[in-house]
Amino acid sequence: MLGKSPEPAGKSPKGCEAVVMTARAEARTLVEAIAGPLRLGENVKGALSRVARATGLNDRRVRGIWHNEARSIRADEMDRLRQAARDARATEQARDEYRAVISKLVACDAALGLSGPDMDRTSDPALGLRPRTEDRTLDRGH
């Protein structure tokens, strides 16, 4: 029995192809990642100016990349954009971790019945800590 098999052989390899991004599209995506969300009272021009300062590229070049007007992207420009995007991601990750630690501290303060995160915890009797002046009797000459 020659010919077609009654069962399908599997998925077509066309669906498994990797998506290749052009340098222009990648550069625009990187500019967007570096800019992040607009700050309060900031417009797009201001955000693109921040990207220019972060990358060392001039404002007009960054705006050209943003508006897809750049005909090509040089390797050194891509390197700058990639590095600035990595730095922006690292900064955002550090901010997220900081916020998580602060929220844990606030939750711990609430569980212990403390009034706030900037309270002097060394004088709180609930924690079993004493101020430094009472810790060392030798300093007082005893």
pLDDT tens, 78-99?
Answer: 999 999 999 999 999 999 999 9
Top-ranked range on mean pLDDT: pick from 3-7, 39-43, 110-114, 128-132: 39-43
Q: What's the predicted TM-score (pTM) here?
A: 0.61
Q: What is the residue type of 82?
A: R
| Top-confidence residue, 52 or 134 | 52
DSSP-derived 3-state class of residue 16: helix
Does the structure show a pLDDT above 70 at 7?
Answer: no
Spatial distance between the Cα atoms of 85 and 79, rounded to a whole number of angstroms: 10
Cα angle, residue 101 at apex, residues 99 and 102 outer, rounded to 5°:
65
Backbone phi and psi for residue 39, each to the nearest 5 degrees, phi listed first:
-80, 165
Spatial distance between the Cα atoms of 9 and 130, rounded to a whole number of angstroms: 75
Question: Which residue from 4, 72, 11, 62 is spatially nearest to 33, judged by alpha carbons?
Answer: 62
